[in-house]
């Protein structure tokens, strides 16, 4: 196999892993069941090589265990995998939400519009369209116009605008850690540590895109909130609301989410040790790396 093909298989591992999880769920397998490579390959109609990489990826997340000379065995029963994030299973409103966002970000849908237009364009009932637009309004993505109709709020539709949102966070979030009133909230740290550890145990693969965004955004908001400065916290919350849609489009990189969770845990460790200056430097670098990956734009020193 060519090296390029091997890299493609590595990139596809999370996608195929999700198909494996769906196969396990549909097959109703119990905890401890043997997940045979050939069975998966035959069921998904693909070769064994990408299946092998997908199972290794699931093992890294702790969803299966590899036993030498025997293969892979489930660590969770099928019923525990019921909230897997598969596009085929999202309901009409959820699908419409993402289609509206994608259409707006790619210039296919914009300007002023009515609920009836959304209903016709995306195959929704009037009530479904109202609920979708109500959700987008709560997330500061659209606003009601005086009288009748809707309009999109400013969205981070270009790499440059997305880049600016991260550069703003690179200024505000590390600075919040150095505020004189910064205090570690032990209860909140424990809650978010548990969430990040759950991502490492498999939730990075299983949770829906919206839930993954919420966990990530609330982690950063919690850390900034420990500074005790309401203005800093509100600014970060505002940026998170505005960037929500474009961030959803990046949540398919679930391998990166595992590394991100590891970095979040490292940040908590630094703060709990009282090394806030090191934590601020670490957070700045963490945000800059994510910024470069998601926008494709170089850093100031590049």
Residue 255 lies in a domain: yes
What pLDDT is stored for residue 299 in this prediction?
Answer: 62
What CATH code is carried by the domain that includes residue 30? 1.10.10.10
Which pair of structure tokens corresponds to residue 294? 């998601």
Residues 6+ apart with CB under 8 A from 250: 294
Residue 302 lies in a domain: no
What pLDDT is stored for residue 252 in this prediction?
Answer: 56
Q: Are 63 and 202 in contact (CB under 8 A)?
A: yes
Q: Residue 254 is part of which domain span?
A: 159-295
The one-character DSSP state at 215 is: H
Please provide residue 125's backbone torsions phi and psi, each rounded to the nearest 5 degrees: -75, 165
Which pair of structure tokens corresponds to residue 86? 């598969």
For residues 138 and 170, state if they share a domain: no
**How much is the pTM?**
0.65
Whole-angstrom Cα distance, residue 114 to residue 140?
17
What pLDDT is stored for residue 118 in this prediction?
Answer: 95
Whole-angstrom Cα distance, residue 98 to residue 85?
14
Q: Please give the tally of structural domains in the chain.
A: 3
Reading the chain (302 residues) residue by residue, the pLDDT tens digits are 444 444 444 546 777 887 888 788 878 889 999 999 999 998 888 888 889 988 988 887 778 899 988 999 998 888 777 554 434 334 677 778 878 887 887 778 888 899 999 999 999 999 889 989 988 887 778 889 887 799 987 665 667 878 888 999 999 999 999 999 999 999 999 999 999 999 988 888 778 777 788 899 999 999 999 999 999 999 998 888 777 767 765 555 677 888 899 999 999 999 999 999 999 999 999 999 988 887 777 765 54
* Domain C-terminal end among 152, 187, 207: 152
For residues 201 and 277, state if they share a domain: yes
Which pair of structure tokens corresponds to residue 61? 């997340």
- E strands present in the chain: 34-35, 64-67, 71-74, 112-113, 142-144, 150-152
Whole-angstrom Cα distance, residue 156 to residue 247?
9
Please provide residue 44's backbone torsions phi and psi, each rounded to the nearest 5 degrees: -90, -5
For residues 174 and 290, state if they share a domain: yes
For residues 170 and 248, state if they share a domain: yes
* Domain C-terminal end among 152, 182, 204: 152
What pLDDT is stored for residue 6 in this prediction?
Answer: 46
């Amino acid at each position: 196999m060519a090296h390029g093909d091997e890299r493609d298989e590595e990139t596809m591992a999370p996608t195929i892993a999700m198909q494996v999880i769906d196969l396990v769920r549909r097959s109703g397998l119990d905890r401890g069941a043997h997940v045979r490579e050939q069975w998966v390959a035959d069921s998904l109609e693909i070769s064994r090589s990408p299946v092998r990489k997908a199972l290794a990826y699931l093992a890294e997340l702790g969803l299966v265990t590899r036993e030498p000379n025997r293969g892979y065995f489930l660590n969770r029963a099928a019923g525990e995998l019921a909230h897997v994030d598969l596009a085929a299973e999202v309901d009409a409103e959820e699908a419409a939400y993402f289609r509206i966002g994608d259409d707006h970000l790619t210039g296919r849908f914009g300007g002023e519009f009515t609920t009836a237009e959304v209903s016709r364009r995306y195959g929704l009932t009037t009530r479904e369209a109202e609920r979708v637009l109500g959700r987008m309004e709560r997330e500061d993505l659209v606003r009601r116009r005086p009288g009748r109709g809707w309009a999109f709020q400013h969205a981070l539709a270009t790499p440059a605008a997305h880049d600016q949102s991260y550069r703003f966070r690179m200024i505000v979030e590390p600075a919040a850690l150095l505020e004189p009133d910064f205090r570690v909230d032990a209860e909140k740290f424990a809650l978010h540590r548990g969430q990040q550890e759950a991502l490492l145990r498999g939730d990075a693969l299983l949770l829906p895109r919206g839930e993954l965004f919420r966990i990530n955004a609330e982690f950063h908001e919690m850390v900034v909130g420990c500074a005790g400065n309401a203005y800093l916290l509100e600014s970060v919350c505002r940026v998170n609301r505005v960037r929500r849609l474009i961030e959803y489009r990046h949540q398919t990189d679930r391998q990166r989410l595992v590394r991100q969770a590891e970095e979040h845990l490292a940040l908590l460790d630094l703060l709990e040790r009282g090394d806030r200056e090191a934590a601020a430097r670490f957070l700045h670098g963490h945000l800059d790396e994510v910024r470069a990956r998601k926008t494709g734009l170089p850093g100031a020193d590049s």
